[in-house]
């Protein structure tokens, strides 16, 4: 639900197999339920453009749509579940800032379906960056993944468990290209995954 102090003016267009949302949104944080509602109402093949702003919570993409944040959408999640979960074949996701604050074994983005295209995300995570599980023939490109520092843990000198930036298991024939991974455990990790193309990625651990 949108907080009572917010005003959102939306116009929905549906034509020729695509959907576009145009909106004027308050800069205050909104619930990710708004994004989930747009996903749930979309038809297969639609393009859903999220209104600019900051959202709190997590979303499930369970139909083949294109979800576009336009580089002006921040999705922040503190739950012990992945912030973006993709379960439908053929999903395209781009232009989001994803902040996964939970210190867990989940991910900012988890994918368990084929032919998923992830492009131009900015991910800051206390768990994994992107998880691919039984996900074939997908693309992860032009995405930035960075470990989300925990100031309290650092001050208390608590042991910090870092996870991997892009982690593939039983996922084949994917293209991992043009990504930047900073201060994670392994930048890109592949296990029981064959025929993947990994090119032109940058990995650094300058803060460790």
Q: Give pLDDT tens digits for 162-204.
A: 999 999 999 999 999 999 999 999 999 999 999 999 999 999 9
17: left (phi over 0), alpha (psi -120 to 50) or beta: left
Taking only the tens place, the pLDDT of each residue in 50-63 is 999 999 999 999 99
Taking only the tens place, the pLDDT of each residue in 28-43 is 789 999 999 999 999 9
More confident residue, 18 or 139: 139
* Confidence band, pLDDT 50/70/90 cuts, at residue 157: low
The tokens for 157 are 């000198």
Mean pLDDT across the chain, nearest whole number?
A: 87
User: How much is the average pLDDT of 14-29?
Assistant: 45
pLDDT at 22 over 80: no
This prediction's pTM: 0.85
* Confidence band, pLDDT 50/70/90 cuts, at residue 18: very low
User: Highest mean pLDDT range out of 16-30, 69-83, 155-169?
Assistant: 69-83
pLDDT at 13 over 90: no
pLDDT for 161: 86
């Amino acid at each position: 639900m949108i907080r009572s102090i917010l005003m959102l003016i939306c116009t929905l267009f549906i034509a020729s197999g695509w959907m576009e949302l145009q909106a004027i949104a308050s800069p205050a944080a909104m619930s990710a339920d708004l994004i989930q509602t747009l996903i749930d109402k979309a038809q297969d093949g639609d393009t859903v453009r999220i209104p600019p702003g900051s959202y709190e919570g997590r979303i499930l993409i369970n139909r083949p749509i294109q979800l576009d944040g336009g580089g002006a959408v921040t999705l922040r999640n503190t739950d012990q579940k992945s912030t973006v979960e993709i379960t439908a074949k053929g999903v395209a996701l781009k232009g989001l800032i994803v902040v996964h604050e939970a210190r867990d074994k989940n991910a900012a983005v988890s994918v368990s379906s084929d032919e998923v295209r992830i492009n131009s995300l900015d991910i800051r995570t206390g768990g994994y960056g992107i998880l691919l599980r039984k996900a074939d023939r997908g693309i992860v490109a032009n995405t930035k993944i960075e470990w989300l520092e925990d100031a309290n843990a650092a001050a208390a000198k608590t042991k910090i468990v870092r996870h991997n930036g892009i982690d593939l298991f039983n996922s084949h024939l994917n293209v991992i290209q043009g990504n930047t991974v900073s201060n994670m455990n392994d930048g890109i990790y592949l296990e029981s995954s064959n025929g993947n193309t990994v090119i032109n990625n940058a990995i650094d651990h300058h803060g460790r």
